[in-house]
Amino acid sequence: MRKIFNLILICFIVMIVFLNSENMVLTQESKGVNQNLVVNDLKIREEYEGLNVDMVIPVIEGMKDKEAEKKINQLLRKDAFNFKEELQIDSEEYLKGAKKEGWEIRKYEASSYYIVHFQSKNILSVSVFYYRYTLGAHGHTLQKAYNINLKNGELFTLSDLFSDMEKARKVINQEIKRQIQLNLSCYFNSGEVFESISDDQPFYVIDDGIVIFFGLYEIAPYACGIRYFKIPFSLIEMNMNFSIGK
């Protein structure tokens, strides 16, 4: 009887572990964004004498145009590997100096993750966050947004969205300045550091608008992080020449 009880208990534990493992794989490695399009994880985990690499980058599957799909995946991979290789070169230079001077060997860090912000029949908006630590007081995170035209695999810039960029710029600048006024202490020079967005200003798309963002130290100190400004479609949709779609 005891053997039967132990066998049942073992089977129960194995079943629980299997179910939990399956869920973990699904949540970590596959992100469905509609019935056809899926964003999968490409994981890069490597360890060197002076560098730890733990990166996850998006791989898009299910686009109708396979050449377009290949093109955007090549870009995503190229950017990720360029980031990793840059840290490898820097860490090797550090190792040479550390060994020469007899310093304690410490390791640089390179990591990344991504967020899918929005997807429709026309576009996919996703950000990859690249984090580097090079033994300073703190690390540094770079956000790179990819706003992808799903019809041809091309990236579109902020100016591509509007029929009249100057008119859009005026509206967006005004809204950003309004939001800055709500928290002046978190910006350089009491917010006066911000003058205007550029034609290729980083942004991403969400359900009810776009989000303009500025990297670390661009308009605010490190402690205030990456700065985000939501621009509702209600302010800009009359001037848009690109169909966001649903």
Could you give the CA distance from residue 159 to residue 165 in angstroms, rounded to a whole number? 6
Q: Going edge to edge, which strands form the sheet with 209-214?
A: 203-206, 209-214, 227-232
Mean predicted confidence (pLDDT) in 94-114: 95
Could you give the CA distance from residue 72 to residue 66 in angstroms, rounded to a whole number? 10
Predicted TM-score (pTM) of the model is 0.83
- Token digits for 219? 């308009």
Q: Closest Cα partner for 109 from 129, 142, 139?
A: 139
List the beta bridge partners of residue 30.
40
State whether residue 30 is helix, strand or coil: strand
H or E stretch including 77?
A: helix 66-101
Percentage of the chain exceeding pLDDT 90: 76
List the beta bridge partners of residue 205.
210
Q: Does the pLDDT at position 1 exceed 50?
A: no
Mean predicted confidence (pLDDT) in 85-107: 95
Q: Does the pLDDT at position 11 exceed 80?
A: no
In one-letter notation, the amino acid at residue 7 is L
Q: Is 217 left (phi over 0), alpha (psi -120 to 50) or beta?
A: left
Q: What are phi and psi of 213, to 5 degrees?
A: -140, 155
List the beta bridge partners of residue 53.
46, 110
pLDDT value at residue 241: 81
Least confident of 13-27, 171-185, 193-207: 13-27
pLDDT value at residue 129: 98
Q: Does the pLDDT at position 221 exceed 80?
A: yes
pLDDT digits (tens, 9 = 90+) for 14-65: 333 333 332 222 223 445 555 489 999 999 999 999 999 999 999 999 998 9
pLDDT value at residue 80: 98
State whether residue 171 is helix, strand or coil: helix
pLDDT value at residue 9: 40
pLDDT value at residue 187: 96
Could you give the CA distance from residue 236 to residue 212 in angstroms, rounded to a whole number? 13
8-state DSSP, 240: B
In one-letter notation, the amino acid at residue 196 is S
Mean predicted confidence (pLDDT) in 97-109: 95
- Per the prediction, the chain carries an average pLDDT of 86
In one-letter notation, the amino acid at residue 16 is I
